[in-house]
């Protein structure tokens, strides 16, 4: 089971590297979208906590 997990991790890393090398512009766009999502989630949690304190 541990060996299968290691193989899957290696395959994912290879796929990510391949995607970055073959299409760096698209990869940058995906990273930007990911960071915007994380930022939005953090803002929502902050708003929620602020409302709880009120």
Q: What is the spatial distance between Cα 52 and Cα 54, in angstroms, rounded to a whole number?
A: 6
Considering all CA atoms of the chain, what is the largest pairwise distance in Å, rounded to the nearest integer?
51
CB 27 within 8 A of CB 20: yes
Q: What is the spatial distance between Cα 12 and Cα 37, in angstroms, rounded to a whole number?
A: 22
- What would the two tokens of residue 25 be? 């512009």
**Residues contacting residue 20 through CB under 8 Å, at least 6 positions apart:** 27
How high does pLDDT run on average in the chain? 91
pLDDT tens digit sequence for 28-48: 898 899 999 999 999 999 999
Give the global pTM.
Answer: 0.57
């Amino acid at each position: 089971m541990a060996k299968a997990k290691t193989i899957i991790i290696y395959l994912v890393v290879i796929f990510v590297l391949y995607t970055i090398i073959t299409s760096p512009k698209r990869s940058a766009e995906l990273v930007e979208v990911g960071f915007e999502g994380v930022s939005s989630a953090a803002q929502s949690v902050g708003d929620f906590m602020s409302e709880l304190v009120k």
